[in-house]
């Protein structure tokens, strides 16, 4: 799924953008359409815009098989589609576990 597509011709590769004062203006190289990118976070499943920000841990092996948090990333949780995960995050106040755990390359 492409991050940005042209609203006129649905092109998703031949696009260019300019960031002026926090507003991203995108130009389609195929049809010439120009639009401002909407930076509102949306649920990819249902399209709701009242998604909640949460932190998700990025784990890596630090010694042997010991896993350590290396960094965090922001994920957006939908009150409908991710209700269980969102409730768990809000109740625990700890980062969400990664979607996929690191594997041993052996």
Render pLDDT for 42-81 as a digit per residue (tens, 0 to 9).
898 998 999 999 999 988 877 777 788 889 999 999 999 9
The predicted pLDDT at position 106 comes to 53
The answer for residues whose C-beta is within 8 angstroms of residue 77's C-beta and 6 or more apart is 51, 52, 53, 54, 85, 86, 89
- Domain-wise residue ranges, the chain: 11-40, 41-99
Q: Considering Cα of 62, then 68, then 72, then 77, what sign does the dihedral take?
A: positive
Least confident of 6-10, 34-38, 46-50, 74-78: 34-38
Non-local CB neighbours of 15 within 8 Å, separated by 6+ positions = 4, 6, 26, 27, 28, 29
What pLDDT is recorded for position 84? 94
Instruction: Indicate whether 1 pLDDT > 70.
Output: no
Averaged pLDDT of the chain: 88
**DSSP count for the chain of H helices, then E strands:** 1, 5
């Amino acid at each position: 799924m492409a991050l940005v597509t042209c609203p006129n011709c649905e092109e998703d590769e031949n696009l260019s953008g300019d960031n002026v004062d926090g507003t991203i203006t995108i130009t389609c190289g195929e049809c010439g359409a120009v639009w401002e990118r909407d930076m509102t976070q949306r649920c990819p499943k249902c399209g709701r815009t009242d998604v909640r920000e949460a932190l998700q841990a990025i784990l890596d092996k630090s010694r042997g098989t010991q896993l350590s948090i290396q960094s965090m990333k922001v994920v957006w949780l939908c009150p409908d589609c991710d209700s269980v995960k969102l409730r768990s995050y809000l109740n625990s106040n700890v980062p969400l576990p990664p979607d996929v755990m690191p594997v041993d390359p052996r």
